[in-house]
Amino acid sequence: MKRLFIAVPICEKSRTDIAGKILSNTALRRMPVRWTAVQNLHLTLQFLGDTEEKRIQEIKRIMDNCRTCSEAEKLCFSSAGAFPARNSPRILWIGFMNNEYLQIIHRDLTAGLNAAGFSVDNKKFKPHLTLGRVKDQTEYPPDLFTVYKNAADSAEISDSPLDRITLFESFLRPGGSVYTALYDKMLV
């Protein structure tokens, strides 16, 4: 079994901007948050979880059936948010401006995976990057979300190209997850 997910990789320039303009913020570094490793930043399209290795070829075919476009679209970053709510954040994220092509890719992928019998998330797609997870709900400062939102919303982050989707394998390690790209489907 392999722990798999399909995502849009975030380009180096965008990751560098996030690291330098948000994740390096001194006030945020003191918060009880486990920050995502910069090299792991990605936009998840579908989390597949533990999957039999023999199904990887099927997943690749489903990815290959996603629509392409004549030129690379861009993922433009927008405002920061929190799940489940700002006053009790567990996940700190940054969202993207509406992108119809991203929605089409997500729909194509979800429809193909559903038709093939994969267990996928069929909730409304809210594209975001998870930047951090609150370690202890009982000990976070009341201004945690405000400090995070101010840092994230004031950061100018370079657009990231929407030129591929990638099948990743995730390895859970004591120091955090490690992701290995298994397959890229080019979109242009």
Q: Which helix (H) or strand (E) holds 151?
A: helix 144-154
Share of the chain above pLDDT 90, in %: 71
pTM higher than 0.95 for the full model? no
Element (H, E) at 74: strand 73-75
Give the domain range for residue 32.
2-186
Q: By C-alpha distance, which of 138, 151, 164, 109 is closest to 19?
A: 151
Q: What is the pLDDT of residues 2-36, one digit of tens each?
A: 999 999 999 999 999 999 999 888 888 888 888 99
Q: Using the predicted structure, report yes or no on whether residue 137 has a pLDDT greater than 80.
A: no
Q: How many domains are there within the chain? A: 1
| Residue of 57, 56, 40 whose CA lies nearest to 1 | 56
pLDDT of residue 123: 87
CATH of the domain at 121: 3.90.1140.10
Positive or negative CA dihedral for 55, 59, 60, 62?
A: positive
